[in-house]
Amino acid sequence: MTDMTSDTPHVHGTLLQADARTRKRNAAETRFKFYGILAIAVGLLMLAILLFNIVSRGTGAFTQTFVTLDVALLEDKLDKSGNRDIEEMKKVSTFGYAPLLKAAMTDMVEKTGMEGQISAGDMADILSKGAPAQLRDYVLANPDKVGQQVSFNFLASSRVDGYMKGRVSRDSIANDKSISAEQLDFVDKLIAQGILTKKFNLSFITGADASDARPEAAGMGVAMLGSFFMMLVVLVLALPIGVAASIYLEEFAPKNWITDIIEVNISNLAAVPSIVFGILGLAVFINYMHLPTSAPLVGGLVLTLMTLPTIIISTRASLKAVPPSIRDAALGVGASKMQSVFHHVLPLAAPGILTGTIIGLAQALGETAPLLLIGMVGFIASNAPDGIASGLLAPNSAMPAQIYEWAKRADPAFYERAWGGIIILLVFLLAMNTIAVILRRRFERRW
Amino acid sequence: MKDLMAERTVDTQKLKISARNVQVYYGDTHAIKDVNVDIEDKTVTAFIGPSGCGKSTFLRCINRMNDTIDVCRVQGDIMIDGEDIYDKRVDPVQLRAKVGMVFQKPNPFPKSIYDNVAYGPRIHGLARNKADLDDIVERALRRGAIWNEVKDRLDAPGTGLSGGQQQRLCIARAVATEPEVLLMDEPCSALDPIATAQVEELIDELRQNYSVVIVTHSMQQAARVSQKTAFFHLGNLVEYGETGTIFTNPTDPRTESYITGRIG
């Protein structure tokens, strides 16, 4: 102490002027703030570019070109015997319906006074290849309409749709056998007459996938159901197992090297690439347990394995965040360990657990790689599941797998649908994350 | 010490808790060293001593709250009404219904005032019906000297009360299970002087029905509320006796240093 007092005391300069050291510190702080703002700006820019791309490329998938056409359902073509016997009418295949469409086109051209420079066949070809099937389905559902004139909204073929959306031009179809410049001239006339219009297409959201020849008819609906059933499996399995495991590990398990190892491994599992879970699912659930391939049940099981670590980690974090004084309070009035956990700790941790679960589910919803390995890229063109059992066990696809499937196909019309699918998927993820935030806000309690 | 023991045996008060050769270890740390103490019924006993001297640790041994700490080991005997509470047959849950506890920081459950008090009686099945439970809650809140302040808002959250009210709510919650011993771990350290005065008054009333053991950092508080005082230092029970004697005529020099403010 005596040494210190003998030193000359430090003399501070004027406070009105910053000294060199202070200036340097302030400059460093300013630089750091600038870097931070720069990083955030870059992030936001990337997000904006991403969203702009997705929206500008994907919104097209939600509209589709339709042709309004009056079709005469001729009795001599569709029901030769005239007794409206469904079984007999079913013998007429879609080929039997095609001439009706050609006739309807010719009628329409005559009625509107357009000059028909192209053949009736070429005119009918601007309709989707699914148009005769649509006609047939309608007739079989309403046999009493045979013999009458009925107005239909037919999907236009994907080339015409592309022309409406600017994807197809007269230059780009030079080598395209599916459509000719004359047909496009005809389309222009139909547009002028208001017969060919672009409208919102609900069946993109609700419909099933379609074959390569009919991209205009492909929809997300069945894949959405596949994803829904997978999420059901994940929720039913991962939530109780994950929460129970976390409660045991956090509140009951003794702290020793075994629980340490378990803890480390759970954290590691959360970082395992999802394709590893996929190949595990392939080996165990399909090859060993012989569960059906492409079934949402198997997809759900694989995604459960993937989601469990996420749920366990977030549940443990929210259990840890409950102040120990609450446990003490419960134990102090004579509650058992289990009562203190279930009556007091768990309700307080619930918002965190729910948030973690929803984030885990959202992750699982967007997961593609493991689904490819267990074959959840089924081409499901028609058979939408009609119940929980078939929903779980019948082959299906999932939203991200369906997007992958479309992006893979050659026709640019499918490419557009892939972007549209991404919009649907993102809307789902956004909705789930919003629910997570709302739950956290609503149930968060202060203590 | 011998003299003190002799002095206490002539006391008319009944013995409630008696500890013999109690040792507590946290892992390798020897936190409580060979503590012997006899705590009487219907008496307020204060544990004083500097921070880290083991008084809270010893208090938590009395209702086995230390069981929740993995590394904590307790040796020796602690008898309540002649029964060893560390006996294998004793369920700590049952023990804690008999030995209530109030903590340093008010820790009401984030539930309604009513549910805070009713929780203990509910899990111990003390009420046969709703009216019964209402009675128990009212009685407990009256004993906690908080009934008049909260009787119109029993459905309001307990966490919305002021600090002093929360602590009295916690006391009401502790007495609702009809304990015989009430342990208080620095119950006023988070309270302002007015709330402290209210709680101290309450402690004096609680003495009619319970054996109260209170840990406190405030020597004035110990002098005000307690009849018996125990001074802990570095894990040892240095001196134990009538509060008046400890504060006016301590036998051990360490006690004297502490109460005159030279250590601690």
pLDDT mean across residues, chain A:
87
Of B180, B219, B189, the closest CA to residue B103 belongs to B189
Q: CA A137 → CA A95, A143, A215, A398, distances in Å?
A: 13, 10, 19, 27
> In the prediction, which pLDDT does B141 show?
93
Burial A252-279 (b: 16+ CB within 10 A, else e): eeeeeeeeeeebeebeebbeeebeebbe
> In the prediction, which pLDDT does A261 show?
94
The per-residue pLDDT for range A246-304, each reduced to its tens digit, is 999 999 988 889 999 999 999 999 889 999 999 999 999 989 998 888 888 999 999 99
> In the prediction, which pLDDT does B1 show?
42
| Residues ≥6 apart with Cβ < 8 Å to B52 | none
Most A CBs within 10 Å: which of B62, B119, B186, as the mutation test of the A interface? Answer: B119
pLDDT mean across residues, chain B:
88
CB contact under 8 Å between B170 and A329, yes or no, is: yes
A373 phi-psi bin (left φ>0, alpha ψ -120 to 50, beta other): alpha
The per-residue pLDDT for range A56-115, each reduced to its tens digit, is 988 888 999 999 888 888 877 777 777 777 787 888 888 888 888 888 888 888 888 776
Scanning every residue of chain B, which has its alpha carbon at the shortest distance from the alpha carbon of A336?
B93
- The yes-or-no verdict on residue B13 having pLDDT over 70 is no
Chain B contact set for A343 (CB, 8 A): 119, 123
| Residues ≥6 apart with Cβ < 8 Å to A25 | none
> In the prediction, which pLDDT does A70 show?
87
Report the pLDDT averaged over residues B172-197: 89
- The yes-or-no verdict on residue A315 having pLDDT over 60 is yes
* Whether the model pTM is above 0.95: no
CB contact under 8 Å between B123 and A332, yes or no, is: no
Instruction: Give the HSE-up count for residue B86: Cα atoms under 13 Å, Cβ half-sphere.
Output: 21
CATH 2.60.120.10 matches A221-443? no
Say if residue B98 is exposed, middle or buried (CB neighbours under 10 Å; 0-12, 13-18, 19+).
middle
Q: What is the CA radius of gyration of chain A?
A: 32
Choose between B6 and B210: higher pLDDT.
Answer: B210
Report the pLDDT averaged over residues B50-61: 90
CB contact under 8 Å between B68 and A327, yes or no, is: yes
The per-residue pLDDT for range A327-368, each reduced to its tens digit, is 999 999 989 999 999 999 999 998 889 889 998 999 999 898
- The yes-or-no verdict on residue A447 having pLDDT over 50 is no
> In the prediction, which pLDDT does A345 show?
93
> In the prediction, which pLDDT does B7 show?
43
CB contact under 8 Å between A332 and B70, yes or no, is: no
- C-alpha distance from B170 to closest chain A C-alpha (Å): 8
Report the pLDDT averaged over residues A118-128: 83
Name residue, tokens 């000359």: A8
CB contact under 8 Å between B124 and A327, yes or no, is: no
Facing residue for B109 by CB, picked from A254, A255, A326: A326
> In degrees to the nearest 10, what's the CA dihedral of B94, B97, B102, B108?
100
CB contact under 8 Å between A329 and B108, yes or no, is: yes
- The yes-or-no verdict on residue A6 having pLDDT over 60 is no
- The yes-or-no verdict on residue B152 having pLDDT over 90 is yes
- Whether chain B has a CB inside 8 Å of the CB on A445: the answer is yes
CB contact under 8 Å between A325 and B107, yes or no, is: yes
- C-alpha distance from A431 to closest chain B C-alpha (Å): 30
* CB B92 within 8 Å of CB B99: no
Cα(A226)–Cα(A394) distance, rounded to whole angstroms?
9
- The yes-or-no verdict on residue A40 having pLDDT over 70 is yes
Instruction: Give the strand pairing for B72-80 and B83-84.
Output: antiparallel
> In the prediction, which pLDDT does A424 show?
94
**Can you say how many angstroms the Cα of residue A117 is from the centroid of all Cα atoms in its chain?**
44
A409: which DSSP letter?
A: S
- Whether chain A has a CB inside 8 Å of the CB on B60: the answer is no
Chain B contact set for A339 (CB, 8 A): 123
**Domains of chain B, with CATH numbers?**
2-107+179-259 (3.40.50.300)
Facing residue for A331 by CB, picked from B96, B109, B159: B96
Residue A33 pLDDT level (bands cut at 50, 70, 90) = very high
Facing residue for B109 by CB, picked from A255, A344, A446: A344
> In the prediction, which pLDDT does A4 show?
52
- The yes-or-no verdict on residue A324 having pLDDT over 70 is yes
- C-alpha distance from A347 to closest chain B C-alpha (Å): 10
Report the pLDDT averaged over residues B150-161: 92
CB contact under 8 Å between A332 and B108, yes or no, is: no
A114: which DSSP letter?
A: -
- Whether chain B has a CB inside 8 Å of the CB on A10: the answer is no
Q: What percent of chain B has pLDDT over 90?
A: 53
Chain B contact set for A334 (CB, 8 A): 93-94, 96-97, 120, 123-124, 177
User: Three-class SS of residue A329?
Assistant: helix
> In the prediction, which pLDDT does B47 show?
94
Report the pLDDT averaged over residues A132-149: 85
- Whether chain A has a CB inside 8 Å of the CB on B255: the answer is no
Cα(A399)–Cα(A389) distance, rounded to whole angstroms?
20
Most B CBs within 10 Å: which of A252, A328, A333, as the mutation test of the B interface? Answer: A333
Which range (A346-350, A440-444, B236-240) has the least confidence? A440-444
ipTM value of the model? 0.86
Read off the tokens for A271. Answer: 């970082």
Cα(A279)–Cα(A285) distance, rounded to whole angstroms?
10
Ranges for all domains in chain A classified under CATH 1.10.3720.10: 221-443
Facing residue for B123 by CB, picked from A326, A328, A335: A335
User: Three-class SS of residue A364?
Assistant: helix
For the ranges A41-55, A68-82, B249-263, the maximum mean pLDDT occurs at A41-55
A248: which DSSP letter?
A: I
